Structure formats: structure tokens, C-alpha cells
Amino acid sequence: MLLRIDHVGIACHNLSEKIEFYESVFGLTVVSREINEEQGVREAMLHVADGDQGASYVQLLEPLHPDTAVGKFLAKRGEGVHHVGYGVTDITKALEEISAKGVRLVDERPRHGSMGASIAFLHPKDIGGVLTELVETSRR
């Protein structure tokens, strides 16, 4: 069901500073910067590698407001890994299959994600404390 690790989402207080850090330390390149109002984030995708099943990225996330998923995460836990995003072929089918196994879905239906992808989150409490995201895209 899972094709690859699409991205690792990392929560930070200052997006520009964190981009500079990843560029200078790892030599990564920003391929997309977006504001996603629905998710309450300002985010950047930095390309890591290409594979048979698509590319993988580091996603840096800065909250738009304190009262957002990433804002609350930062207040509670500080900066660090916020979620793991896995590539899937058919997100609707994957959600049905995962839900049937008793895992709570944060999103019953796909939402708009970075770089035009369809995304959906699974509840961290049912996945060993890891907020998990499914990502379907034809372009990566």
C-alpha cells in the first residue's frame, strides 16, 4: 500500500531560518513554498531524492497562528518531527482499507496538500504516537 516516504514534516518557529539551515548543512533545494490556510501552515518542500516510485522531500512547517495543529504541537513539544507522509497510489482506497483495520482517520476524505497532492491524516494515537499522512500525486 505504501510506495515510499514522500516527506518528513518538521515543525519550526521560523521557516526562513530553517530553510537556510537545511540548505547550508545538507545542500537541499527548495522546490515549493506555499501557504495552506486550511491546514494553518506556511510550508516549504526541499527535494531530497528521486526513486522508482517518486521523489522524497523534507517539508518545513511554520504555523500561521498558535491555534493550529502545528502551533499547538510547537507549544507542547517544541521544534522537531511533526509527521511522516507516505506516498500511495489511490488515497481513497487506502483510507478505506486503513479505516477497516480500526485506525482512526483524522480526514475521512482527501484534502488539498503541498504541490497539488491529495492528502489525508491518520490519528497519531492509533499509530504509536506518529502523526501519519497519506499522499497521492501523479507529479512527484
Phi, psi at residue 20, to the nearest 5°?
Answer: -55, -40
Site for ligand MC0 in 44-73 (CB under 6 A): 59, 61, 69-70, 72-73
Out of 133, 136, 137, 140, the only residue in the binding site for ligand MC0 (CB under 6 A) is: 133
Q: How far apart are CA 118 and CA 77, in angstroms?
A: 27
119 binds ligand MC0 (CB under 6 A): yes
Using CB under 6 A, pick the residue from 83, 87, 91, 98 that binds ligand MC0.
Answer: 83
Residue placing its CB nearer to ligand MC0 in the complex, 76 or 101:
76
CA distances to 5, 30, 120 from 89, rounded to whole Å, are 13, 25, 13
